[in-house]
């Protein structure tokens, strides 16, 4: 259904005039407008709905606006749209229908993935009957009552938890906020993913609970696990460790610097009857260094560190960190061993990441061939028009 309405049907929206600098981005259909692309920006409350126009021409776009953010406007639709309960219901229904069509073998699924689902600044993950959402912008904060109404209408969840505690909110001038939006929440829940059981505390875990964006990559990596001596670096609560064991690994060692994550990983090992999977609380750089010094080697390594480049200005330092960590991983691999290595920073494009890996392999005097270069899971789609929404790159390599 077309969301565009005539001006007579829509409440009057403030008009923001776009500068000539924004024409290239608009022609590309990019959903963001930066602060320097708006002429004479008016003083409006953060999150206000606006109409974007060029000085001449009839094209316009409905967006929400934040005068305090570098990304000043995020587009909700072409033309002048009525942003109401019916509009939100259609958006949510479309996002849910796509996930149902994927038929993923897991109870934990991303239902809404921001810009890729036409709902910029909104993330919703489903853990069985429980929903966890993140609102990252002032504009989406203002639309949350419509989001909750649509979710209750279409899913009837037991509870909707807002985990609006991402650092990204500070860029919008927003405080952290964690609260129940609807229903209640059990302190500990359990979900099944790819035949594995995961216990999690939705109130205290990182992000929304599990790193769902890597689930499909872990399932692929498990194909190489038969008989392997495996290492899972930055393992969080053990997802990849369990996939590798399920794939037939002989031994699996998971390491993470978070004591809480390791405690949860050990409980998940018990849930899955995988006592052979062991976990250590350790800094990734230090532990890999000590393993190299001890002469220990592995057949299979998964390396999934946190984003080292949260801002563009951090890029050079981040690449040095990634290079050192991967250099140590290369040295730990037996000949013919497999390395799955990832970055989840959208500032590091796949070609930059692969060039860094080339240098790390050279530093280690190891020849590496690329088996596959993967991205975030299929329930985390990204927009061709906005490469920033492709934030995860996972390279699977074999080392001579």
Q: Calculate the average pLDDT of the chain.
A: 93
- pLDDT tens-place string over residues 89-134: 999 999 999 999 999 999 999 999 999 999 999 999 999 999 999 9
What confidence category does residue 87 fall into, taking pLDDT thresholds of 50, 70 and 90?
very high
Architecture of the 15-78 domain: Roll (2.30)
Res. 4: pLDDT tops 70: no
Res. 151: pLDDT tops 90: yes
**pLDDT (average), residues 162-169:** 90
SS3 labels along the chain: CCCECCCCCCCCCCEEEECHHHHHHHHCCCCEEEHHHEECCCCCCCCEEEEEECCCCCCEEEEEECCCCCEEEEEEEEECECCCHHHHHHHHHHHHHHHHHHCCCECEEEEEEHHHHCCCCEEEEEECCEEEEEECCHHHHHHHHHHHHHHHHHCCCCEEEEEECCHHHHHHCCCCEEEEEEECCCCCEEEEECCEEEEECCCCCCCCCCCHHHHHHHHHHHHHCCCCEEEEECCCCCHHHHHHHHCCCCEEEEEECCHHHHHHHHHHHHHCCCCCEEEEECCHHHHHHHHHHHCCCEEEEEECCCCCCCCHHHHHHHHHHHHHHHHHHHHHEEEEEEEEEEECCCCCCHHHHHHHHHHHHHHCCCCEEEEEEEECCCCCCCCCCCHHHCCCEEEEEEEC
Q: What is the rounded distance in angstroms from the CA atom of residue 246 to the CA atom of residue 194?
A: 10
pLDDT for 207 equals 63
Find, among 291, 212, 279, the residue nearest to 241 by Cα.
279
Instruction: Give the start-to-end residue ranges of the domains of the chain.
Output: 15-78, 85-189, 211-399
Find, among 345, 377, 342, the residue nearest to 357 by Cα.
342
pLDDT for 40 equals 80
Q: What is the rounded distance in angstroms from the CA atom of residue 307 to the CA atom of residue 294?
A: 28
Q: What is the rounded distance in angstroms from the CA atom of residue 373 to the CA atom of residue 343?
A: 12
What confidence category does residue 185 fall into, taking pLDDT thresholds of 50, 70 and 90?
confident
pLDDT for 8 equals 33
What confidence category does residue 11 fall into, taking pLDDT thresholds of 50, 70 and 90?
low
pLDDT for 12 equals 86
Res. 7: pLDDT tops 60: no
pLDDT for 325 equals 97
Q: Which of 53-62, 73-82, 351-360 has the lowest mean pLDDT?
A: 53-62
What confidence category does residue 208 fall into, taking pLDDT thresholds of 50, 70 and 90?
low
- pLDDT tens-place string over residues 306-346: 888 777 788 899 999 999 999 999 999 999 999 999 999 88
Q: What is the CATH number of domain 211-399?
A: 3.40.50.150
- pLDDT tens-place string over residues 249-269: 999 999 999 999 999 999 999
Q: What is the CATH number of domain 85-189?
A: 3.30.750.80
Res. 180: pLDDT tops 90: yes
Positions marked catalytic: 344
């Amino acid at each position: 259904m077309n969301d565009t309405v005539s001006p007579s049907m829509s409440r009057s929206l403030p008009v923001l005039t776009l500068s000539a600098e924004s024409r290239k981005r608009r022609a590309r259909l990019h959903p963001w407008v930066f602060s320097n692309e708006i002429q004479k920006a008016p003083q409006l409350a953060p999150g206000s709905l606006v109409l974007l126009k060029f000085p001449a021409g009839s094209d316009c776009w409905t967006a929400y606006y934040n005068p305090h953010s570098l990304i000043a406007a995020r587009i909700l639709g072409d033309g002048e749209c009525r942003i109401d309960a019916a509009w939100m219901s259609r958006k949510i229904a479309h996002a849910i229908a796509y996930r149902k069509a994927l038929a993923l073998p897991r109870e934990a699924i991303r239902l809404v993935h921001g810009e890729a689902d036409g709902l910029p600044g909104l993330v919703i993950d489903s853990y069985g009957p429980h929903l966890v959402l993140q609102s990252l912008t002032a504009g989406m904060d203002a639309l949350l009552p419509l989001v909750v109404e649509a979710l209750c209408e279409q899913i009837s969840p037991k509870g909707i938890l807002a985990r609006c505690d991402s650092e990204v909110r500070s860029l919008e001038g927003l405080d952290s906020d964690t609260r129940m939006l609807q229903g209640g929440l059990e302190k500990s829940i359990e979900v099944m993913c790819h035949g594995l059981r995961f216990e999690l505390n939705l109130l205290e875990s990182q992000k929304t609970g599990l790193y769902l964006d890597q689930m499909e990559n872990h399932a692929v990596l498990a194909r190489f696990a038969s008989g392997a001596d495996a290492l899972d670096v930055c393992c969080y609560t053990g997802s990849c460790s369990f996939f590798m064991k399920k794939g037939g690994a002989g031994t699996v060692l998971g390491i993470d610097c978070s004591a809480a994550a390791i405690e949860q990983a050990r409980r998940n090992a018990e849930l899955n009857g995988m006592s052979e999977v062991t976990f250590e609380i350790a800094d990734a750089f230090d532990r890999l260094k000590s393993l190299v010094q001890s002469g220990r080697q592995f057949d299979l390594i998964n390396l999934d560190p946190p984003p080292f480049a949260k801002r563009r200005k951090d890029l050079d330092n981040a690449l040095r960190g990634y290079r050192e960590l991967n250099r140590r991983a290369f040295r730990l691999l037996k000949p013919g061993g497999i390395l799955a290595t990832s970055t989840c920073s959208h500032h590091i494009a796949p070609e930059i990441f692969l060039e860094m890996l080339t240098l790390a392999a050279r530093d280690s005097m190891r020849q590496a061939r690329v088996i596959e270069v993967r991205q975030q899971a299929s329930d985390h789609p990204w927009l061709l028009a906005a490469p920033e929404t492709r934030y995860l790159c996972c390279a699977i390599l074999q080392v001579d």
